[in-house]
């Protein structure tokens, strides 16, 4: 029987929980590899994907609907026993601020739960502009997985905006690995050309995009 990766409620969850936010428009293999890399590096018992309703760093908004992005995530994670997707930010709607999401989850999980916020390093150039960014460090441990375009050496450029102490914490939280080149932009371009199978997508996601005519 196929596993359903939908996680509707954080109430009372225990253990080491990874939280991975993003537009996932569409979810691709690079996203899955970020989650797996974080899980291995931090010994996480589960990683929960949190698709945003509206990413403040992407004012044009996602190309696919909330329902389609959630459906694609569920397909991508169906065979991943430790990876889940939560509708928390989609149900809240409006602009999705990570700090508010972490506050809401922290209030629901078991007090002893260990929260880790997972992100790809490609998010770091905009990271100093995130809403109440300094408060994130007190709500969860960060795990930054290297992606193409931003490596450990680039952290130094964040010092003027974040200060030395927080950048050194990011350095400790950085998971250096062979950069992950997949991108949602490239996958959307392949879908727009009528060839979603050419994107770096799980096969079930590529089929969903073709069947529903997404990104055309």
Per-residue pLDDT of 31-43, as tens digits, reads 999 999 999 999 9
What element of type H or E holds 146?
strand 141-147
CATH code (residue 119) = 3.40.50.620
Residue 47 covered by a domain = yes
- Measured distance CA(139)–CA(136) in Å, rounded: 5
CA distances from 36 to 75, 82, 128, 203 (A): 16, 9, 25, 18
- Measured distance CA(190)–CA(214) in Å, rounded: 11
Residue 196 covered by a domain = no
Query: What pLDDT digit, counting tens, does each position of 140-199 carry?
Result: 999 999 998 899 999 999 999 999 999 999 999 999 998 888 899 999 999 999 999 998
pLDDT of 28 strictly over 90: yes
Residue 30 covered by a domain = yes
> So what's the pLDDT on residue 61?
76
Higher pLDDT, 5 or 180: 5
Residue 1 covered by a domain = no
Residue 137 covered by a domain = yes
Residue 120 covered by a domain = yes
pTM: 0.95
pLDDT of 126 strictly over 60: yes
Residue 37 covered by a domain = yes
3-state secondary structure of 5: coil
If one counts the domains in the chain, the total is 1
Residue 3 covered by a domain = no
Note down the domain range covering 64: 16-182
């Amino acid at each position: 029987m196929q596993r359903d990766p939908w996680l509707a409620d954080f109430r009372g969850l225990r253990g080491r929980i990874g939280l991975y936010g993003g537009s996932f428009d569409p979810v691709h293999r690079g996203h899955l590899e970020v989650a797996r890399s974080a899980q291995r590096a931090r010994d996480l018992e589960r990683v929960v994907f949190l698709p945003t309703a509206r990413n403040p760093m992407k004012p044009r908004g996602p190309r696919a609907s909330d329902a389609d992005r959630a459906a694609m995530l569920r397909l991508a994670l169906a065979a991943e026993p430790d990876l889940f997707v939560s509708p928390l930010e989609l149900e809240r709607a409006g602009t999705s601020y990570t700090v508010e999401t972490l506050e809401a989850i922290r209030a629901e999980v078991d007090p002893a739960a260990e929260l880790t916020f997972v992100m790809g390093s490609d998010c770091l150039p905009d990271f100093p502009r995130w809403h109440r960014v300094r408060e994130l460090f007190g709500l969860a441990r960060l795990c930054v997985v290297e992606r193409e375009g931003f490596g450990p050496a680039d952290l130094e450029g964040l010092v003027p905006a974040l200060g030395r102490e927080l950048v050194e914490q990011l350095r400790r939280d950085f998971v250096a690995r062979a950069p992950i080149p997949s991108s949602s932009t490239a996958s959307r371009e392949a879908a727009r050309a009528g060839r979603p199978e050419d994107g770096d997508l799980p096969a079930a996601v590529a089929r969903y995009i073709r069947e529903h005519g997404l990104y055309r």
